[in-house]
Amino acid sequence: MSKVKHLLGISGGKDSAALALYLQSNYPELDTEYYTCDTGKELTETYELIGRLESALGKEVVRYHSFDETKVAIDNPFDHFLASYGHFLPSSGQRWCTQKMKLEPFEKNVGDEPTISYVGIRGDENREGYISKRENIQTIFPFRKNIWSSDVIKTAFSIQHIDTLRAALQNHFDQIEAKPVLKIFDTPLSLTFTLNHKVESLLDFNTTAFNHAVHAVLKNTDYPVGKLDNYPLLENQEILGIDDIFKLLEESGVGIPAYYLPVEFTANIDGEIKTGTYSRSRSGCFFCFFQQKIEWVWLLEQHPKLFEKAVEYEKDGYTWSEEPLSELMKPDRVNQIKANYIKKTERAKKHAQGQLNWKDEILNSEGIGCSSCFI
């Protein structure tokens, strides 16, 4: 087997922690290394989860540090870069925090070594994770039926490699499957039959055969997986959803990040006191600008000192969202946010015929955010 590094970034969230346990249990031969890009602005619950995960793995989660312009490690990276950006707070449109404190430390530590980066996007999610532009870094998604990233799929089906892929499909699918498989493969793409549809159809026939065919193509490229004579995840047929993730964490003793657990609150709605529950739906910095209003209220009431720090960052006209935290924290506004959230939750439960639970709220929030931070 060629020398290829196997890396998994631990965000402090449920999916990356569960993936670490999954890889160690099912693919110990990969000798996966674990890391976290520590911004110094994470929630206490995040650091606690990483500590429990290290105990369960029997392995250190290495801290990747940010570096300044002179390539010296920074103790307080967010404040350093905030000053260098003229106190311009990061936002959904200007995610300098992700670039400087997540991506650059990761790629600097990888260097030029062929590296497979494992990402915990689940089988019940419809999104793509971070894909590095560096040729020596390849992303794999072990929880999905389709473990390959979109760039790999596009390469495999490109004009340059299409004949190799067709021959590999014919070779790896058995004689009975080969004819309908090649019929699907040869069907022209259209608005109603996209490349994604074609890939899903091929995977439905035989996932491992499709994986081996893609691997045959990658051997003719610079992708790290192509440098491996044998890659055990080619045989992977498991598809893990959110319930599987929570089960993995609970059975391992690591448990779920405490910030996911619902906390009761009350709100005055038209003179009636009603009860709801809130929590945080994501890992990441305590002041993450992708938070919902109710999550800011959660931070205000569950971590008041951290909320105060978030308020202190809002100056010179810069705010975390369109509403300054100094306004959001006023009692009447807090009650309004809680009341709106209770009404929203009641409508969702009515629509789902009462089947919603606190995990569903996490699912509903997951599509909002930056995959580089939250996976």
pLDDT in 10s for each residue of the chain, 375 residues:
468 999 999 998 999 999 999 999 999 999 999 999 989 899 999 999 999 999 999 999 999 988 877 777 788 899 999 999 999 999 988 899 999 999 999 999 999 999 999 999 999 888 877 788 888 999 999 999 999 999 999 999 999 999 999 999 999 998 888 899 999 999 999 999 999 999 999 999 999 999 999 999 999 999 999 999 999 999 999 999 999 999 999 999 999 989 999 999 999 999 999 999 999 988 889 999 999 999 999 999 999 999 999 999 998 889 999 999 999 999 999 999 999 999 998 888 887 765 666 566 666 555 555 555 544
* CA dist 236 → 16, 208, 209, 268, 290 (Å): 18, 7, 11, 51, 33
User: How confident is the model at residue 374, as a pLDDT?
Assistant: 41
End-to-end CA distance of the chain: 28
Tokens of 121: 């996007």
Selection from 314, 65, 112, 306 nearest residue 224 by Cα: 112
**What is the H or E stretch that residue 342 is in?**
helix 331-351
Q: What is the pTM of this model?
A: 0.90
Contacts of 341 (CB under 8 A, 6+ apart): 267, 276, 278, 293, 294
Q: Which residues of 249-281 are buried (b: 16+ CB within 10 A; e: fewer)?
A: beebebbbbebbeeeebebebeeeeeebbbbbb
User: How confident is the model at residue 63, as a pLDDT?
Assistant: 93
User: How confident is the model at residue 360, as a pLDDT?
Assistant: 63
User: How confident is the model at residue 292, as a pLDDT?
Assistant: 93
